[in-house]
Chains A and B, each alone.
Chain A
Amino acid sequence: MTDDQKRFLEQIRNRLDESSANLDADTLARLRECRKQALAGEPASADSTLRSWYRSLTGIGSLGERLPVAAYLLGSVAVVSVAGWLLLSRPAELQDLSALGNLDLLSAAEEPEFYEQLDFYLWMEHENEG
């Protein structure tokens, strides 16, 4: 390693030392709190995975910011759950009728007017036979 390279690396080391020595008061307070919690037997990892996902999904971090979004997500889940429950709780015969009763009509090539005038065609055929 050349002297120039050693000097360069020493400069980086000094910068890193300065950066850790001059951490802001808020970060230092948070670190003390982390230490207290760790010594009291409270891991951060229990919910840190969820928090990480949440941050990446929403781009926000503090509790005050999280609450409205969390309420919105919970509300959405509730609406979807109720809708699913209502759909599944319909009587079986109604589901069958709604599913199969319209199937012929939907799949037919004829115009809907044909079915509206079906009684007339049936009557005319009966007259012709008569």
Chain B
Amino acid sequence: MSTKPFPFRYYIVTPQFPESAVTNPMNEFLASVERRAYRIAYIATGNREEALDIVQDAMFKLAQRYADRGAEEWGPLFQRILQSRIRDWYRRARARTVWQRIRSSKEEDGGDPMDRLPGPATGEPSKLLGEQGAIDRLDEILHSLPLRQQQVFLLRLWEGLDVRDTARAMGCSEGSVKTHYSRAVHRVRELLEEHWP
């Protein structure tokens, strides 16, 4: 197996655990990836609790099964586990959608009609909403992408993986990665362009 360092940009280190970080390399590694892992899971699920569960699960599996591997392997392994957990979540979400449809159809039968009126618009331009508004809008657009496009977009653009490593993390072909990335970039630009100068 290659010992080439993985091309992640793990430069954000949580400063609250300096003593643990010195004594435990796995803790140091997880601290360096947890924020981005959480953001990727959050964009995929749109739910904080689900995202935290996915991150904890990926951390647990890496620490339990691969702690004895070389630290340079942890990056790709963690990313592969994380993406796998997100795909599992999507599969379960499809089944849950059936229940949600049943629930929503029951709720529509009764209750206050005012409750069914649409909420405030969510697509305001970032110029009006500021930094957080722009990030929320970006989250919204990325969340709306098909899962494969979303994964490939974040892995290629944000994590800085090349085509081969992205394909390995996602468990698909390199050709598939190129196709999904091209479509994702096109779609994100189309949706975001009107809000970002």
- Chain A residues with a Cβ under 8 A of chain B: 5, 8-9, 11-13, 15-21, 23, 27-28, 30-32, 34-35, 37-39, 41-45, 48-49, 51-53, 55-57, 61
Contacting residues, chain A, for B139 (C-beta < 8 A): 19
Chain B interface, >50% SS class: helix
Contacting residues, chain B, for A15 (C-beta < 8 A): 134-135, 138
6 cross-chain CB contacts under 8 A:
A9-B185, A18-B131, A27-B38, A37-B60, A43-B56, A48-B50
For the complex, give the distance between the alpha carbons of A82 and B27 in Å. 51
Cβ 8 A contact of B49, one of A31, A51, A57: A51
B12 near A42: Cβ-Cβ < 8 Å: no
Min C-beta distance of B99 to chain A, whole Å: 6
B138 near A56: Cβ-Cβ < 8 Å: no
Interface size class of B (residues with CB under 8 A): 35 or more
Q: Which of B28-36, B116-124, B161-169 contacts A (4 or more CB under 8 A)?
A: B28-36
Instruction: Please name the residue on chain A nearest to B135 by beta carbon.
Output: A19
Q: Say yes or no for B61: interface residue by CB 8 A criterion.
A: yes
Given known A18-B135, A53-B96, contact A43–B34 (CB-CB < 8 A): no
Q: Say yes or no for B170: interface residue by CB 8 A criterion.
A: no
Report B5-16 CB contacts with A as 1/0, cut-off 8 Å. Answer: 000000010101
A31 near B34: Cβ-Cβ < 8 Å: yes
B131 near A39: Cβ-Cβ < 8 Å: no
Contacting residues, chain A, for B64 (C-beta < 8 A): 41, 43
For the complex, give the distance between the alpha carbons of A17 and B56 in Å. 21
Given known A9-B157, A12-B138, A43-B61, contact A31–B55 (CB-CB < 8 A): yes
Contacting residues, chain B, for A52 (C-beta < 8 A): 50, 53, 89, 92-93, 96
For the complex, give the distance between the alpha carbons of A32 and B60 in Å. 13
- Chain B residues with a Cβ under 8 A of chain A: 12, 14, 16-17, 24, 26-27, 30-31, 34-36, 38-39, 47-50, 52-57, 59-64, 85, 89, 92-93, 96, 99-100, 103, 131, 134-135, 138-139, 154, 157-158, 185, 188-189, 192-193, 196
Contacting residues, chain A, for B55 (C-beta < 8 A): 31, 34
For the complex, give the distance between the alpha carbons of A125 and B50 in Å. 81
B185 near A39: Cβ-Cβ < 8 Å: no
B56 near A34: Cβ-Cβ < 8 Å: yes
Min C-beta distance of A26 to chain B, whole Å: 9
B48 near A32: Cβ-Cβ < 8 Å: no
Known: A12-B157, A45-B57, A48-B53. 14 other contacts (CB 8 A): A11-B196, A12-B192, A15-B134, A15-B138, A18-B131, A27-B38, A30-B52, A31-B55, A34-B34, A38-B57, A42-B60, A43-B56, A44-B53, A52-B92
Contacting residues, chain A, for B192 (C-beta < 8 A): 12
